[in-house]
Amino acid sequence: MTQSDPSKAQPPKPKNVLFIMCDQLRFDYLSCAGHPSLSTPNIDALASRGVRFNRAYVQSPVCGPSRMSFYTGRYMRSHGSNWNNFPLRVGEPTLGEHLKRLGVRNVLVGKTHMKADDEGMARLGIDPDSVIGVEAAQCGFEPYERDDGLHPTRPGAERPRYDGYLEAQGYPARNPWEDWANSGEGPDGEQQNGWLLAHGDKPARVPDEHSETPYMTRRAIDFMREAKADGRPWCLHLSYIKPHWPYIAPAPYHDMYSADDVQPAIRTDGEKQNPHPVYGAFMDMRVSRNFSREDVRRRVIPAYMGLIKQIDDQLGLLFRFLDDEGLSASTMIVFTADHGDYLGDHWLGEKDLFHEMSVKVPLIVVDPAPAADPTRGTVSEVLVEAIDLAATFIDYFGGQVPRHIVEGRSLMPHLLGQPVAGWRQFVISEYDYSMQDVRRTLGREPAECRLFMLFDGRFKYIHAPGFRPMLYDLASDPDEFRDLGDDPDFQAERARLRDWLLGWALTDHNRITMPDNRIEAYSPAAQLKSGILIGYWDEAELAAAKKGFGLD
């Protein structure tokens, strides 16, 4: 299945990857990305040690499918896990499997949002408790600590380790995650549900050290300590749940920022005038209506910023640990997010659509090797897709990227400052809105609820089956206020981008069992040699062909 060439692998020097992901972190909520009042010195320092990719896009602006793309290196249309809790089909090749072949452990601490294909596993007789079963159920990860940061009380559901941790610290509850780590308190000490946006200004009911971000940081450190004894190279996915909702931060982060730090919403009244039907339906959702209110933004955004600040502080500790343990020189560090957050921009809450603050993510990659010195501290404007990371990691560990499976491209040449011929002309992102109430509003069948974004670095074309497309020109309209989707002046642009979309859609996505090199090895001579004689007239012609092929 893979084209990996073991002779190209470099086992002697231990190399690792620390693959850090935040959940719902906007690209522009970092000081190195220009946020005016949010200070993230540790992330900024990371950027100064590597390349900050300023045009990195996720393959779907919602957790589940975005992550399945990160973890498989494949587009949403390819892995088929279209939305949260759509199981990843059994047998879908994962980054973990590619790394395993290179002798590298792929380890998880935190969130993946993976939903196992229990039915498919049963169909194929795969025991979920076997090594292969766990790998299939965990999206190719060795789950050192799996925690999706979403613990609604379900009878019979397995409780994450963090719940037990909280109980041991003296926070008993049926759901300590919700009641303590993600709730605040009223004036009389009564619990106030952190799910509700109104409580964003309260401190969480656990101190900083017992909240999720420090806990996960410590678990990552635990793993790296243990891995030292193990000796095998690893790719550790440290996947923070924050700054994803519930928007509530522990002290002192809950009031480190105030309403004064809230940036003006990026929106215009014009956007509400006769919007594209799909956009209009999203604007009409509860979360969008609430985030369109200034009082909501002023209550929530400081908590969101506090949660980011907490992550930055924890990363400071983590990077110091790497330094102290001598790991920094052998460990590639990646920092990114699974998607952004509208926070009221464009009259929207959550994510789901394709404006920059939703679909574009922060991405910093540090390759510690001396060969990457020339690019340290630079900002790259190349068009990057989330699926590129899987390819990058395979490449980093010395493998050949199996291009018939992994659809992303290695970023290594960009890290090494090498010239790259024929880089991609556009990025793609997809969205399935069948699980949103928008489906009913628009009267669509489940299979009809699809959106496709194609962005070429200037024009952002959004194909919406059943509706006209949307189009934004980010050169003249960087804030994406003017939808040119039905502007007659841009018909040629739309036709060009639609043709590119067709080209993308028609490329293979399922030819995963046949690598290119096996195709290239086939020929009329190979066919003849196998004894399959198609189209030969007689013995003389056959003899001549054999001679011509050097087979006689």
For 65, the 3-state DSSP assignment is helix
Q: What is the C-alpha R_g of the chain? A: 25
Q: Which is nearer to a copy of itself, 416 or 512 (CB)?
A: 512
**Cα 263 to the chain's mean position, in Å?**
25
Selected binder of a copy of itself within 258, 418, 491, 523 (CB under 8 A): 523
Spatial separation of the C-alpha atoms in residues 36 and 367, rounded to whole Å: 28
Selected binder of a copy of itself within 50, 73, 80, 250 (CB under 8 A): 80
Task: Tell me if 551 contacts a copy of itself by CB under 8 A.
Answer: no
Which H or E element spans position 308? helix 294-324
Selected binder of a copy of itself within 24, 40, 82, 392 (CB under 8 A): 82
Q: Which is nearer to a copy of itself, 126 or 372 (CB)?
A: 126
Spatial separation of the C-alpha atoms in residues 313 and 41, rounded to whole Å: 8
Show the binding pattern over residues 373-412: x = contacts a copy of itself (CB under 8 A), - = does not. ------------------------------xx--------
The one-character DSSP state at 181 is: I
Shortest distance (Å) from residue 14 CB to a copy of itself: 26
Q: Which is nearer to a copy of itself, 146 or 404 (CB)?
A: 404
Q: What 3 state SS string does 257-289 have?
A: CCHHHCCCCCCCHHHHCCCCHHHHHHHCCHHHH
Selected binder of a copy of itself within 452, 461, 472, 490 (CB under 8 A): 452
Task: Tell me if 205 contacts a copy of itself by CB under 8 A.
Answer: no
Burial 335-364 (b: 16+ CB within 10 A, else e): bbbbbbbbbbbbbbbbbbbbbbbbbbbbbb
Task: Tell me if 502 contacts a copy of itself by CB under 8 A.
Answer: yes
Place of tokens 């002309």: 425
**Cα 26 to the chain's mean position, in Å?**
12
Q: Which is nearer to a copy of itself, 211 or 292 (CB)?
A: 292
Shortest distance (Å) from residue 536 CB to a copy of itself: 6
Q: Which is nearer to a copy of itself, 260 or 538 (CB)?
A: 538
Q: Which is nearer to a copy of itself, 381 or 520 (CB)?
A: 520
Spatial separation of the C-alpha atoms in residues 68 and 338, rounded to whole Å: 10
Q: Which is nearer to a copy of itself, 268 or 491 (CB)?
A: 491
Q: Which is nearer to a copy of itself, 229 or 506 (CB)?
A: 506
Count of positions on this chain that bind a copy of itself (CB under 8 A): 94
Selected binder of a copy of itself within 463, 485, 494, 497 (CB under 8 A): 463
Task: Tell me if 173 contacts a copy of itself by CB under 8 A.
Answer: no
Task: Tell me if 220 contacts a copy of itself by CB under 8 A.
Answer: no
Q: Which is nearer to a copy of itself, 153 or 268 (CB)?
A: 153
Residues between 271 and 290 with contacts to a copy of itself, criterion CB under 8 A: 285-288, 290
Spatial separation of the C-alpha atoms in residues 432 and 83, rounded to whole Å: 7
Q: What 3 state SS string does 10-37 have?
A: CCCCCCEEEEEEECCCCCCCCHHHCCCC
Q: Which is nearer to a copy of itself, 309 or 463 (CB)?
A: 463
Task: Tell me if 197 contacts a copy of itself by CB under 8 A.
Answer: yes
Task: Tell me if 491 contacts a copy of itself by CB under 8 A.
Answer: no
Handedness of CA 460, 352, 117, 244 (dihedral sign): positive
Q: Which is nearer to a copy of itself, 18 or 197 (CB)?
A: 197
Contacts of 430 (CB under 8 A, 6+ apart): 59, 60, 65, 75, 76, 77, 82, 450, 451, 452, 453
For 459, the 3-state DSSP assignment is strand
Task: Tell me if 418 contacts a copy of itself by CB under 8 A.
Answer: no
Residues between 1 and 40 with contacts to a copy of itself, criterion CB under 8 A: 1
Shortest distance (Å) from residue 124 CB to a copy of itself: 6
Q: Which is nearer to a copy of itself, 82 or 429 (CB)?
A: 82
Q: Which is nearer to a copy of itself, 404 or 414 (CB)?
A: 404
Task: Tell me if 95 contacts a copy of itself by CB under 8 A.
Answer: no
Q: Which is nearer to a copy of itself, 36 or 125 (CB)?
A: 125
Task: Tell me if 182 contacts a copy of itself by CB under 8 A.
Answer: no
Selected binder of a copy of itself within 18, 56, 88, 308 (CB under 8 A): 88
Mutual angle of helices 41-49 and 294-324, in 10-degree steps: 50
Q: Across the chain, how many H-helices and E-strands are there?
A: 20, 17
In 3-state terms the chain splits into helix, strand, coil percentages (rounded to 5) of 40, 15, 45
Shortest distance (Å) from residue 216 CB to a copy of itself: 21
Task: Tell me if 212 contacts a copy of itself by CB under 8 A.
Answer: no
Task: Tell me if 195 contacts a copy of itself by CB under 8 A.
Answer: yes
For 295, the 3-state DSSP assignment is helix
Task: Tell me if 158 contacts a copy of itself by CB under 8 A.
Answer: no
Task: Tell me if 296 contacts a copy of itself by CB under 8 A.
Answer: yes
Task: Tell me if 505 contacts a copy of itself by CB under 8 A.
Answer: yes
Show the binding pattern over residues 529-548: x = contacts a copy of itself (CB under 8 A), - = does not. -xxxxxxxxxx-xx--x---
Spatial separation of the C-alpha atoms in residues 410 and 331, rounded to whole Å: 17
Spatial separation of the C-alpha atoms in residues 499 and 110, rounded to whole Å: 40
Residues between 97 and 156 with contacts to a copy of itself, criterion CB under 8 A: 97, 117, 119-120, 123-126, 130, 132, 136, 150, 152-154
Contacts 24+ apart (CB under 8 A), 124-130: 124/90, 124/91, 126/90
Spatial separation of the C-alpha atoms in residues 398 and 416, rounded to whole Å: 15
Task: Tell me if 501 contacts a copy of itself by CB under 8 A.
Answer: yes
123 DSSP β-pair partners: none
Shortest distance (Å) from residue 112 CB to a copy of itself: 16
Residues between 305 and 364 with contacts to a copy of itself, criterion CB under 8 A: 349-350
